[in-house]
Amino acid sequence: MPCAPIWQCSSTTLDLSRPRIMGILNVTPDSFSDGGEHNTPEAAIAAASTMLDEGADLIDVGGESTRPGFVPVDSEEEFHRLEPVVRWLIQEGALVSVDTRHAAVAERCLELGAQIVNDVTGFSDPAMVAVAEKSDCGCVVMHAGPVSGAATKDSAIQAKGGADDLATLMKSASAGSQDWEEGAARRLLPEAAPVVDALEGYLLDRAHELEQHGVVPDRICLDPGAGFGKSPEDNIVILRHTAHLAGLGYPVMCAVSRKRFVGTLGGTDKARERDEATIGVTLAAVAQGARILRVHDARGMAEALDGFWAVSSSWTMQVDIALGLDGADKQEIASAIDHMPLTRLAGKSATDGHICAITALSLLPFRHALAAALAPTGAKIRAIAPLEQQLS
């Protein structure tokens, strides 16, 4: 199963040898699971800081809810909500995605330093294509619309000149079309081939149009748009065929966090109680090649992914550790690191305050294990810098 090795987002090259976690930050009063919680810059910044500390690799900031029944927000109000949070994240050196379908908002956020545009209408608006063409941002191309029954690739939302019918679509988004049930066979799920063909056709059309306007393929990530105009049955079919989408050569996003069909699978109708089921569904997609995981619960997803990835893959990371020696015994330090679980020394010991190691732990578990290992030595961790990640 070929998976895209990188995602190029402005000057940041995101290594996809291991899946990456995108934390969801809704700066809105009406998002479906956390509306109003981050509706001030202070609350949003605090939430973003927590997600980064808990394992998010990047933050997706949205100023307009696209939940079922949402009320559209004009571009000025959307940017007003986003600006202080995007500014803070950029100052902190975070990788920032802006979740917007408005070209003017995307352009202004990129000027602030955001590196990714996440467009739920799939860059179908020529104005949004022009924004991508003029910049070097990463582009998330999402499918919104039906995929089963009589749906084709042209049944998806087509935004033109800043106008689209996303709000109309989302009034019935949780149900989707179920006209495939009307056949004599009464299948439990829609036939997979037409669903996948409709998705693939639309996503490739959008990706190829971006490429025709100078956007290199490494900048493009595909999101099949679970929950956007699709029935629970559609979503299951799509997720079961993640490997097919990953085989198209672009990074694939899994963005199912707390959605209603996930609650159906997990047995709860409360959005905030769907995180455990979200993790289960997302890890199933990871096993088939999804590499960008868009979630509300960064900590839970990071812990689950760390455990899953250590066992399911032969991934390793090389790290440079900067230490404050303060008279600590260098050989004792080296021995402590060399005896850490799933970790070995690589190169010379810490004669200059730096030591290199290879580990199969991801960064947060490695940091915790390292702190425990070094505690008896008196050495202090000053910095840990990943040097190289690879699947061996």
The three-state DSSP-derived secondary structure of 203-250 is: HHHHHHHHHHCCCCHHHEEEECCCCCCCCHHHHHHHHHCHHHHHCCCC
CA distance 360 to 306: 10
Contacts of residue 42, defined as CB under 8 A and 6 or more positions apart, other chains included, come to none
CA distance 65 to 116: 18
To the nearest whole percent, how much of the chain has pLDDT over 90? 67
pLDDT in the model for residue 163:
57
Least confident of 124-138, 264-278, 344-358: 344-358
pLDDT band at 350; cut points 50, 70, 90: low
To the nearest whole percent, how much of the chain has pLDDT over 70? 87
pLDDT band at 387; cut points 50, 70, 90: confident
Average pLDDT over residues 114-121: 96
CA distance 1 to 291: 13
Q: Which residue has the higher pLDDT, 221 or 1?
A: 221
pLDDT in the model for residue 32:
47
Instruction: Please name the residue that has the structure tokens 């149900």.
Output: 175
Q: According to DSSP H, which parts of 101-148 are helical?
A: 103-112, 126-134
pLDDT for residue 289 is more than 80? yes
pLDDT band at 388; cut points 50, 70, 90: confident
pLDDT in the model for residue 307:
95
Least confident of 29-33, 85-89, 215-219, 331-335: 29-33
pLDDT in the model for residue 206:
97
pLDDT in the model for residue 43:
84
For residue range 5-34, what is the model confidence (pLDDT) as tens digits?
999 999 999 999 999 999 999 998 754 445
Q: Is residue 36 within 8 Å of residue 250, measured between CB atoms?
A: no
pLDDT in the model for residue 41:
81
Least confident of 2-16, 106-120, 165-179, 218-232: 165-179
pLDDT in the model for residue 390:
79
Least confident of 71-80, 104-113, 115-124, 369-378: 71-80
pLDDT in the model for residue 172:
53
Q: What sign results for the dihedral spanned by CA atoms 91, 353, 391, 21?
A: negative
For residue range 135-157, what is the model confidence (pLDDT) as tens digits?
999 999 999 998 988 889 988 88
Least confident of 35-39, 216-220, 344-348: 35-39
Average pLDDT over residues 211-225: 98
pLDDT for residue 300 is more than 70? yes
355's tokens? 């030591």
Contacts of residue 213, defined as CB under 8 A and 6 or more positions apart, other chains included, come to 129, 130, 132, 133
Q: Is residue 251 within 8 Å of residue 245, measured between CB atoms?
A: no
Quick one: residue 168, left, alpha or beta (phi over 0 = left, psi -120 to 50 = alpha)? alpha
pLDDT for residue 338 is more than 60? yes
The predicted model scores a pTM of 0.89
Average pLDDT over residues 197-208: 97
CA distance 55 to 24: 12
pLDDT in the model for residue 183:
59
CA distances from 282 to 199, 341, 373 (A): 19, 27, 32
Q: Which residue has the higher pLDDT, 325 or 280?
A: 280
pLDDT in the model for residue 157:
82
Average pLDDT, the chain: 89
CA distances from 127 to 34, 102, 155, 213, 305 (A): 30, 9, 21, 12, 37
Average pLDDT over residues 271-283: 94
pLDDT for residue 184 is more than 60? no
Average pLDDT over residues 84-100: 95
